[in-house]
Amino acid sequence: MHPDLLRYSCQVALPGFGEASQQLLQNAKVLVVGAGGLGCPSAQYLAASGVGTVGIADFDTVSISNLHRQVLYNPSDVGQLKAEVACERLQKQNPGIKLVPHTAKITSGNVMQVIEGYDIVIDGTDNFDTRYLLNDAGVLAGKPIVYGAIYQYEGQVAVWNVLNKDGTCSPNYRDLFPQVDATQIPNCTEGGVIPTLAGIIGCMQANEVIKYITKAGEVLAGKVLVFDAQTMQSRIIKIGTTTKTNITALQKTADIPTITATEAKKGLANDTIELVDVRTDQERDEFDIGGMHFELDEVEDNLDEFEAGKSYVFYCSSGKRSGEAVKLLQQRLPGVKAYSLEGGLGSWNQD
């Protein structure tokens, strides 16, 4: 066996795999969007298996609260860009492949350019705007999207937009969820997530990519695998063989105004801003920097608390829920100046 293949000897020995399948992996280019709980194990196993080019897209930085499930990072990485840390670590794991960090936020303005050079995309995101954006871009560009989602003890995996033999495409995310109200769905920070679930679902996503590239087995196209970590049971839900959607253009990404912790503290000192906490009651009891308090799903019921001409800085643990709150105010109260605290309370404490 060629010395370069010794590393992969166990998978090359698989029935029906061989050196030809390994060469397919070597020639493949895979983009992992979201270097978090799902993206870390996905990228790690893709790199280990010998995928020739692995791109990692994430504009976020490492925080302490990430470490229980985002296994590529350690405490010394806090504050550093996830994509860069992940690529550096995986390059050491496998020097024979190419790692490409993408540190700009994925938006409607750059998503087509970012995914253009890749064969397949892993969706490891944790917000619905980016998930829909990736889905739509995948459809327009003819790229399969490997979907993964986790919450508490349950995870989901599917492969969207796979080309069928008759020239049609398999269902995509909008076939399953035409529209989602993100303010009504708690995230992992609010509802929690068992860390091992992230590893399980992330590995399943990597497995679907390997199957797709090597044409081995049956990928989860037209169906969704639902896994329960408490019972260790899974079921597959069939959603059809062909998409029923008609996606012709990308929806423009909302521009969410942000403010740094330093700027927010200056504003507080000068009495020019007011803080608004959109975390849960339990989170606020544990740590409180002041301001009004409404959980994210309560903001819409309290719009009369916000005055035109005033400036409000919404905050949560990471900046994701506060961004949703700012989007809501932009839609409902355009006369109110609203900002999301960049990086959430993690940046506040670091500052």
Active-site residue set? 188, 316
DSSP state for residue 152 in the 8-state scheme:
B
Cα angle for residues 151, 153, 300 (degrees, 5° grid): 30
SS3 143: coil
Q: Which one, of 53, 47, 5, 49, lies nearest residue 28 by Cα?
A: 53
Long-range contacts of 172-177, Cβ-Cβ distance < 8 Å, separation of 24 or more: 172/135, 172/138, 172/139, 172/145, 172/243, 172/245, 172/247, 173/131, 173/132, 173/135, 173/145, 173/147, 174/132, 174/135, 174/136, 174/245, 174/247, 175/239, 175/240, 175/243, 175/244, 175/245, 176/224, 176/239
SS3 317: coil
Phi and psi dihedrals of 306, rounded to 5? -105, 130
28 dihedral zone (left: phi>0; alpha: psi -120 to 50; beta): beta
Phi and psi dihedrals of 42, rounded to 5? -60, -55
HSE-CB for 53 with a 13 A CA cutoff = 15
Distance, CA of 320 to CA of 327 (rounded, Å): 11
